[in-house]
Structure 1
Amino acid sequence: MRRFKLQVQMSVDGYMAGPNGEMDWLTCPWTDDINAYLDALTEPVDRIVLGRKLAEGFIPAWAAGPEGEDQASIDKMNNTPKVVISDSLAESPWENATVMGGDLTKIVAELTSGPGGDLITYGGATLAQRLIAANLLDELHLLVNPVALGSGLPVFADTGAHQKLHLVAARQFDCGITALHLEPKRP
């Protein structure tokens, strides 16, 4: 069965962005050890799942070949098919991306039930929160940056109940970021 993973950067106080979506707090330079971790995380992935708001910046940014990124990462991001979760888009304005709307649980069941590699989402905030609240993720890879924001868009919001998670691994990288690999404890 395909695994559905979340990878998100966050502050130590649990925010993935500032109150207005600011990302200027992401100042840790990537080091070789975190690059290797992320390469291993995305290697089995054959589909990227994004929320509409994130897709609007994410897809064009990777298509432009962001400065400082290695070509293999650029190719992986551009060549991997994407699914954009949106109830406001009827069709995709991007190459190599399809739009799915409606019941999130049914969408995830459809995406994970077929053959293929793993799926990964990077959010945005609304999609990540909805996936966590509905317990639809198999793995959470939280990249905890050594900064506190005080307020912003939380990773965990409106979960509706306590969610028990199992810590699979924790790893600190040379850049100061710590990765927490968590999996939901399911009955």
Structure 2
Amino acid sequence: MSKLSVFNFISLDGYYKDLNNGIDWHQHGQEEAGFSAKSLGSDHMLLFGRVTYQIMASWWPMQNAIDAMPEVARGMNNAEKIVCSNTLQTVDWQNTRIMSGDIFTQLAEVKKTSARDITILGSGNLTTQLAQAGLIDNYQIMIDPIAIGNGTAIFKGLQRVLKLKLTDIQSFKSGTVLLSYEAV
């Protein structure tokens, strides 16, 4: 049985995107890029909501991304990807398929039958829905040493208490901290 994990970064004040839906405040230095490349080398399936998928698909296959972060781009482009959407009809990023309809039942089935773990990248709305349904096993939250004042909270709309157990802390030279949790 595979595990479903989420990786997201947030500001010190708990937002994963700013008021304009931007993430350009996120500090992703060389050390953080190394962490991302190593994580992508672990052969996880990647899971996205539609909005995050469209942002990622417009960046990672492009030459600018390949030049800026070659190892991360290679991992992103080669990974098997699932985008959860009831509105998206086609995808053109390699190794991507659409999951629509009852994603909760479908993802529970993928978790039961797949030998590969699944990682949600970004995708705040999807993360909240799957956390609400109790389908997420692990959470990796990267906290940037910046307060942006306002934006969208990482678990906006969550209607249940989410109890987590801290399993690891990793600090980066930039002041960014990665907290790893498992669902209790």
Contact 2:36 2:72 (8 Å CA) reproduced: no
Contact 1:16 1:154 (8 Å CA) reproduced: yes
| Identity, % of aligned positions | 24
- Residue 39 of structure 2 is matched in structure 1 by 41
TM-score by length of 2: 0.90
Q: What stretches of structure 1 of length at least 5 have no aligned partner?
A: none
Q: How does 1:20-59 map to 2 (within 5 A)?
A: 20-26=20-26, 28-32=27-31, 34-59=32-57
Amino acid at match of 2:126: L
Q: May I ask how many residue pairs the two structures share in their alignment? A: 182
Contact 2:61 2:93 (8 Å CA) reproduced: no
- Distance in 1, matches of 2:129 and 2:163, equals 16
- Deviation for aligned residue 1:176: 1.2
Amino acid at match of 2:29: W
Q: Secondary structure at the match of 2:135?
A: coil
Contact 2:171 2:178 (8 Å CA) reproduced: yes
1:2 equivalent to 2:2? Answer yes
- Deviation for aligned residue 1:17: 0.2
Please list the CA deviations of residues 4-62 of structure 1 after superposition, one character each: whole Å capped at 9, or x if unmatched.
11111101111100122011312x24133x34433443333331111111111202311
- Distance in 1, matches of 2:180 and 2:135, equals 16
What is the root-mean-square deviation of aligned Cα atoms in Å?
A: 1.7
- Residue 120 of structure 2 is matched in structure 1 by 121
Please list the CA deviations of residues 156-178 of structure 1 after superposition, one character each: whole Å capped at 9, or x if unmatched.
12221211110001111111110
Amino acid at match of 1:130: Q
Change in CA separation of 1:176 and 1:48 when aligned onto 2, cut-off 3 Å:
same
Q: Secondary structure at the match of 1:149?
A: coil
- Distance in 2, matches of 1:12 and 1:136, equals 26
Contact 2:15 2:151 (8 Å CA) reproduced: yes
1:13 equivalent to 2:16? Answer no
Amino acid at match of 1:140: Y
